[in-house]
Amino acid sequence: MAGPKTVLSFGAHPDDAEFMCAGTLALLHEKGWRIHISTMTPGDCGTVEYSREEISRIRRAEAAKSAALLDGSYHCLECGDVFIMYDRRTLLKAIELVRKVRPTIVFTLSPQDYMVDHETAARLAQTACFACGVVNIETAGAEPFEPVPYLYYMDPVEGKDNFGAAVKAGTIVDITGVMDTKEQMLCCHESQRNWLLKHHGMDDYLLMMKAFAKTRGAEVGCGFAEGFRQHLGHAYPQDNILKSELGDLVHVA
């Protein structure tokens, strides 16, 4: 069986969770859930000043510091930025992680997003959830388990797909009460300010995060919110566990 009240954020890079689901993680933590945050890469290309080894070390430490604010654990699958592959080797890493964590809920990135790393991470998470109970897929030190976890896709960056169309969230979580925690978690990623300023022309990514959370919040009449879409394909759970756990803080379209 999946672990009791365990949630896994399955991202591509350090700070993905902080941008898109940290508020909901904080709310679940308040309800007694165990928090795990994982990334496919250590963010080894997110710099204009450090070597690949140096920035990887820095960003792993930043991610672990952020997770610790929720008494959580951080995991890195050690792929490379821009080179996250949907292949057997990487899938086995993803399946092994899910089996070790044994989550009830998995949050992953949007299948439609601004970069392929995010989209590939979403596909890997989908397959890892589906395959976690497949006994003929062997993973060292990690046994298969059932049932398939609840799988939710986070909002894409800026809430739009690759053609600029707005992506509607099916589940919106009011995170107003934990917005300070979400901001503190994102602030742990200090190395990214210079990188984002140089590469994205973004001087204050905290303001960007808060602005989008405010936009989602306005859709449901609250200060700040995070949006999700639940994977409802065959074999995946069909009820909305976020609504069950977080009650009136969750608005379902």
Six-digit token string for 71: 């008494």
Residue 67's domain comprises 6-252
In a domain, residue 206? The reply is yes
- In total, how many domains does the chain have? 1
Q: pLDDT of 64-116, one tens digit each?
A: 999 999 999 999 999 999 999 999 999 999 999 999 999 999 999 999 999 99
Tell me 166's DSSP state: B
In a domain, residue 51? The reply is yes
Q: How far is CA 97 from its chain centroid? A: 14
In a domain, residue 52? The reply is yes
Using pLDDT thresholds of 50, 70 and 90, give the confidence band for residue 2: low
In a domain, residue 98? The reply is yes
What average pLDDT does the segment 52-62 reach?
Answer: 97
Nearest to 37 by CA among 136, 130, 95, 103: 103
Using pLDDT thresholds of 50, 70 and 90, give the confidence band for residue 4: confident
pLDDT of 42 > 90? The answer is yes
Is 10 within 8 Å of 38 (Cβ atoms)? Answer: yes
For the chain, the average pLDDT equals 95
Percent of the chain with pLDDT strictly greater than 90: 88
Q: pTM of this prediction?
A: 0.95
What's the first-to-final CA gap in the chain, in angstroms? 30
Return the ∠ at Cα 41 (arms to 167 and 54), rounded to 5°: 130
pLDDT of 15 > 60? The answer is yes
In a domain, residue 16? The reply is yes
In a domain, residue 238? The reply is yes
Six-digit token string for 232: 């409802």
pLDDT for res 210: 95
pLDDT of 142 > 90? The answer is yes
Is 13 within 8 Å of 156 (Cβ atoms)? Answer: no
Do the bridges between strand 34-39 and strand 105-108 make them parallel or antiparallel, or are there none, so unpaired? unpaired
Q: pLDDT of 185-213, one tens digit each?
A: 999 998 887 767 676 666 577 888 999 99
In a domain, residue 55? The reply is yes
Q: pLDDT of 145-180, one tens digit each?
A: 999 999 999 999 999 999 999 999 999 999 999 999
> Is the omega angle on the peptide bond into residue 14 within 30 degrees of 0, that is, cis?
no
- Alpha-carbon distances of 89 from 44, 82, 124, rounded to whole Å: 19, 16, 11
- CATH code of residue 204: 3.40.50.10320
In a domain, residue 1? The reply is no
Please give the Cα distance from 124 to 25 (Å, whole number): 21
